[in-house]
Amino acid sequence: MRVWFAAAIVVVWAALACFGMLAPLHPEAIDLSRILMSPGREAWLGYDDLGRPLWDRIAVGARYSFFVAVFVVSISAAAGTLIGAISAYRGGWIDHVITRVVDIFLAFPGILLAIALAGLLGAGLGNVVIALSVVGWVGFARLARAQVLAYKEREHVQAAIALGAGGGRIIVRHLLPLILAPLIVEATFGIAAVVIAEAGLSFLGLGIQPPLPSWGSMIRDSSRYLLVSPHMVLVPGLALMLVVLAVNMLGDSLRDRMDVRSLRRQRG
């Protein structure tokens, strides 16, 4: 039941991101007569301190959080998987250098490194994607390296090497299909982490800039009105919490379904 609930939330989030632009949304429409108006018949989620409809702003903010998460995870997964697979397959000094680089990245907390990169690059949507991608590839590289080390001695891989297949072909055709399942699970959890990171950067003023609405910047701008109009903080906060919770629940379910050992124990 909880998986279906989580899936429904993710579907709504994705639908708002992909098809919300077709809806008549006006996130920047200012109506001074509706400043700090609570949720009611005229607006499901109420209005903010400038009389802007929170539903419209939440829907548009969902679009930016979704596409940032998709782009960052796609770039991180592609780069990290390629680097980790090459490191494990080639071995030697290449593996040693890449492992040391990964260790250096892991020596810094990811969010702090993202804040530093966003500060250096400057605020903006594109720079947020770059900063989070630079931080996010490390986890995929470590996972891909560990998986390739476990599978590269398999008989079919050794047979492909004996037949003269190149390293690129072996990685793409023989190793990548074997390590795809854990990478998909890692990508699922990565989406949740990127959503929180993007909201955090926007909260600090280093992410998506006004007039573009972001859940993080909405929480920051609404915090001063917490005692007067708590719905201004609760609405984006709940949206952020539900999306992250739903993605993590789907990741847990996906991990359980793809874990061959747990399936064998259940059947046994």
Q: What domains sit in the chain, N to C, each tagged with a CATH number?
A: 2-267 (1.10.3720.10)
3-state class (DSSP) for residue 213: coil
Residue position matching structure tokens 């390293």: 167
Residue 157 or residue 208, greater confidence: 208
Tell me the torsion sign for CA atoms 197, 228, 56, 39.
Answer: positive
Determine the Cα–Cα distance for residues 149 and 97; give it in Å rounded to an integer.
Answer: 16
Determine the Cα–Cα distance for residues 50 and 115; give it in Å rounded to an integer.
Answer: 29
CA distances from 121 to 92, 128, 200, 250, 265 (A): 34, 9, 16, 33, 49
Q: What digits encode the pLDDT tens for the residues 31-76?
A: 888 888 888 877 788 888 888 889 989 999 999 999 999 999 999 9
pLDDT at 241: 94
DSSP 8-state assignment for residue 223: G
CA distances from 134 to 25, 65, 118 (A): 33, 18, 11
Q: What digits encode the pLDDT tens for the residues 176-205?
A: 888 888 899 899 999 999 999 999 999 988
Q: Would the pLDDT of 153 be above 80?
A: no
Output the six-digit token pair for 221. 């701008």
Q: Would the pLDDT of 30 be above 90?
A: no
Q: Would the pLDDT of 165 be above 80?
A: no
Q: Do the Cβ atoms of 89 and 175 come closer than 8 Å? A: yes
Name, in order, each residue with C-beta under 8 angstroms of 226's C-beta and a sequence gap of 6 or more. 232, 233
What's the whole-number mean pLDDT along residues 229-254?
Answer: 91
Tell me the torsion sign for CA atoms 207, 208, 214, 217.
Answer: positive
pLDDT at 181: 86
pLDDT at 262: 45
Cross-strand pairs, 47: 53
pLDDT at 263: 42
Task: Give the mean pLDDT of the chain.
Answer: 86
